[in-house]
Structures are given as C-alpha cells and as structure tokens.
C-alpha cells in the first residue's frame, strides 16, 4: 500500500520564499500519520510539503491513498491537488482545521474527510480502506488522544529544508475561549495530554539539545505542566514554545519553566485595548504586558509577540501607536496580523450575522488580507495599516534597539528581525497583486 502525504502551500507558506526556507519548522502531522499506520499492511510513504519544495506530480508513481492536511488559507490549493489525484485514480482523504470546521464543503472534492484529531480515526480509515469499505466521514474524539508509544516518522521529511530544531508536541487543545481562535473551535474548548514519559523518551531519541514545542497551550493544565517541566530539567535542553501572558500568576510554574531550559516564547498579546480583549474573550491584562516580558528577559528568554489589527475598538490612531507600545513593553520580535474570521469560529459567525464578511475566497484567509468590513475604516485601509505598522516596527533603528534590549540571543534576534523585515516586502507584494 502506497500512501502520499501532502501539505499544500498558501500565500505565505510557499516554496521559493527565502523567509520560508530559513525559518520553517518541520510539521509533525504527516510523520505522526505515518507512525499511526498499521505496519502489517507494509505501507510505503512519501511526504511532500509544498511550503519548502516544488514537486511535479505528473512524474510521481501511483499512490493508493493521497492524504492532504490543510488550514483555511491552503485549502483551495488542497482541493486542486485532491481533484488532480482523484482523476489519477488515487483515493483522496483530507483532514485539518478547515476540513473539521467545514466537512461538507470538503466532501465535494475528496473521497473521505477526517474531522478532529486523527490518532484513532486514521487507523480506522486505513482498516476500512484495506477492507474495501471506507466511510465518507470519520470524526475524532476531541477530549482524548491515544498517542502512547507513538514516535513520529520524521525520516519522511526533508530535514535539510527546515530549521535544525526538532519539533515535539506534548499536549493538544486549549481551555481558553478566544473568539477568533481556530484551535478552540477545532478542539471544542477541550484539552488533552500525552504521557510525560513518552514525550521524554521521544526527546531523548532525537539527540538534540534544542527543541521547538508546538503545544498550542502548554500551561493550560498547571499540574501536568509542572511535572513535565520537572522531567525536562535533567535533559539539560534548550527549548522554545508558546505561553500565555498570565504565566506570572503561578510563580512555581514560571520558575520550573525557566529551570527546564526555556529560551524563547511566542506570546499572543494581540492588542493594547482592554475593550478589544473583552470583545474577543481574551484573558490578557494590558498593564501586565511589560511585567511579564521583563521577567522573561531577566531569565534570558526571548519573546516573539503577536498582535492583531482590526478589532471593533481599533481606530487608525490606535493602530499607528502600536509600534511605540510594542517597544515600551520590550517585545524582542513583533509580528502583526489582520484579525481573520476563520470559518465557524465565533468571530466568523458574529461577523456573518452582521453582514460584514466580504470574501469567502479561503486563500485570502491568511492574516494579511482583510476579508471583513472593519468598524472604523475600510478593509483596504486595514491592509494598508498592517503594512504601515509592520514597516515602522522593522526600521533599522528599531531593530537595533530590540536586538540590544535583552543581552541574551542578540545576534539571533538581529537576524530574525531582519528576516521579518524582508518578509514584509513579500506581504506588500501579495497585497499589491490582490
């Protein structure tokens, strides 16, 4: 049985982008699906990640199954690929966030859809496929993950095309209820974890002193997180991952995070407006932003902060002030994005009810295009504001100040900041060619 795994490209994540090739981390979905495939069927795998490589599908051998995983911004490309391989006679199955939220749409293009986590249903699908009776739809359990003793087959991926830091995931889902977040809609507000000993064994097997954790909300379960960080300490690794701004509410958890080797954190600040935070059900407290950044800096941790533009409380004036606010709180690497109402999220439903969705071209749901009518300016003006604040934040003067702010990782921060400065040119080109 021959299985082809494909991750489609989108406007941002696409082969030939210098930024993509230099900062892409290895996706974990395809290696996990390969590991979950029953070995008794002697499967042979191939994985194609269109974000880091170009492939001529006409030159490929025949595959019994073509499995595509897609987010909203890449799903149109995914449908193109599905149509191509169905004509070739392959059986096409599709999963991912977008398919989970709009399964009926996907069924117009593929033979089978997998919704939710695929740890169990992938195996069920394979068994049914081999038995000659695959179903049209399989629904995964959002509150339980069965990944015991499963080690992803990373050898499927072209490791030299990604940053040289292995990716690992210890827990899934999120207990927060941010209105705009697709993770919450995908997992139904539920949260589940892997066995700590399994994760530790996997990390040991990687033989790397640096790890990138992909957990969407690693501290949602403080009891689990504390035990996990304690288990990491003897490994003496350095790691980066995600964290919420309320981490200082649990000093013991914060201390263990630092002791376990934390060197970089992606943190979703999103906005400096309390009104916008309340609107989106985000639990951040603006007055705590600088405090949490300072505490991480004191412990040598670099902060990549994300910010969204387009909340109903945003004005042109408030958005234009964001580069100064970002500098005041001390974020090392800022990233700006347009608020994107992903299908079937609460934000999408609210805006659709208000007749404010202006595009259902999923390729534009990429965080750089405005697909809804903002409250205080036009969608075009919102896109222009994105470029204005991004360019202002990435002036050489501001980059130098950020690189020198935190004594740890100055050279790396400098390089990454200039990488994002270059990326802004790509965004500007994409908006110009709209």
Residues in the chain: 434
CB neighbour class for 133 (10 Å; exposed up to 12, middle 13-18, buried from 19):
exposed
Neighbours of 403 (CB within 10 A): 20
Neighbours of 61 (CB within 10 A): 8
Mean pLDDT by 10 residues, the chain (434 residues): 96 64 79 94 95 91 97 97 98 96 97 92 96 95 66 89 89 83 78 90 94 90 96 97 94 98 95 91 92 95 95 96 96 95 95 98 96 97 96 90 72 69 66 63
CA dihedral 28, 31, 33, 37 (to 10 degrees): -160
Q: What confidence score (pLDDT) does residue 50 get?
A: 93
Sheet holding 65-69, edge to edge: 44-49, 2-7, 65-69, 91-95, 112-115, 137-139
Of 366, 357, 360, the residue nearest 74 (C-alpha): 366
Q: Which two tokens stand for residue 217?
A: 């909300």
Give the start-end residues of each E strand in 188-228: 191-193, 210-213
Q: What confidence score (pLDDT) does residue 252 get?
A: 98
Give the start-end residues of each E strand in 339-384: none
Distance (Å) of CA 320 to CA 1, 114, 323, 425:
56, 42, 7, 19
Neighbours of 72 (CB within 10 A): 25
Q: What confidence score (pLDDT) does residue 418 get?
A: 65
Residue-range domains of the chain with CATH? 2-139 (3.40.50.280), 154-432 (3.80.30.20)
Give the start-end residues of each E strand in 110-190: 112-115, 137-139, 167-168, 171-173
| DSSP classification of residue 357 | B
φ, ψ (nearest 5 deg) of residue 23: -125, 5
Q: What confidence score (pLDDT) does residue 268 get?
A: 94
CB-CB contact of 351 with 372 (8 Å): yes
CB-CB contact of 49 with 76 (8 Å): no
């Amino acid at each position: 049985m021959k299985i082809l795994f494909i991750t489609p490209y989108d406007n941002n994540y696409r082969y030939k982008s210098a930024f993509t090739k230099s900062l892409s981390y290895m996706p974990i979905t395809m290696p996990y699906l390969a590991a979950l495939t029953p070995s008794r069927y002697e499967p042979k795998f191939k994985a194609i990640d269109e974000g880091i490589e170009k492939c001529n599908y006409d030159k490929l051998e025949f595959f019994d199954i073509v499995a595509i995983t897609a987010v909203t911004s890449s799903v149109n490309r995914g449908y193109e690929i599905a149509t191509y391989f169905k004509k070739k006679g392959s059986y096409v199955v599709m999963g991912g966030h977008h398919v989970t939220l709009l399964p009926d749409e996907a069924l117009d293009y593929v033979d089978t859809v997998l919704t939710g986590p695929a740890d169990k249903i992938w195996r069920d699908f394979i068994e049914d496929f081999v038995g000659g009776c695959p179903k049209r739809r399989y629904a995964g359990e959002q509150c339980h993950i069965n990944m015991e003793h499963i080690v992803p087959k990373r050898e499927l991926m072209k490791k030299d095309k990604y940053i040289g830091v292995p990716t690992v995931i210890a827990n899934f889902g999120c207990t927060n209820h941010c209105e705009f977040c697709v993770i919450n809609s995908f997992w139904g507000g539920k949260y589940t974890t892997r066995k700590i000993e399994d994760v530790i064994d996997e990390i040991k097997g990687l033989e790397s002193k640096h790890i990138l954790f992909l957990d969407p909300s690693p501290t949602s379960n403080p009891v689990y997180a504390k035990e996990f960080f304690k288990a990491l300490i003897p490994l003496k690794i350095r790691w980066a991952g995600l964290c919420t701004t309320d981490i200082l509410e649990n000093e013991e958890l914060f201390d263990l995070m630092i002791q376990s080797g934390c060197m970089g954190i992606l943190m979703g600040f999103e906005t400096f407006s309390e009104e916008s935070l309340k609107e989106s059900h985000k639990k951040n407290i603006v007055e705590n932003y600088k405090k949490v950044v300072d505490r991480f800096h004191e412990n040598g941790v670099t902060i990549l902060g994300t910010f969204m533009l387009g909340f109903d409380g945003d004005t042109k004036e408030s958005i234009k002030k964001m580069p100064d606010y970002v500098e005041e709180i001390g974020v090392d690497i800022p990233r700006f994005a347009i608020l994107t109402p992903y299908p079937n999220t609460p934000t999408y439903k609210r805006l659709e009810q208000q007749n404010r969705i202006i595009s259902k071209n999923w390729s534009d749901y990429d965080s750089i295009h405005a697909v809804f009518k903002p409250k205080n300016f036009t969608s075009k003006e919102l896109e222009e504001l994105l470029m204005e604040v991004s360019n202002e934040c990435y002036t050489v003067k501001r980059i130098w100040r950020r690189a020198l702010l935190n004594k740890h990782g100055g050279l790396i921060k400098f390089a990454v900041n200039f990488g994002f400065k270059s990326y802004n040119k790509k965004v500007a080109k994409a908006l110009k060619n709209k």
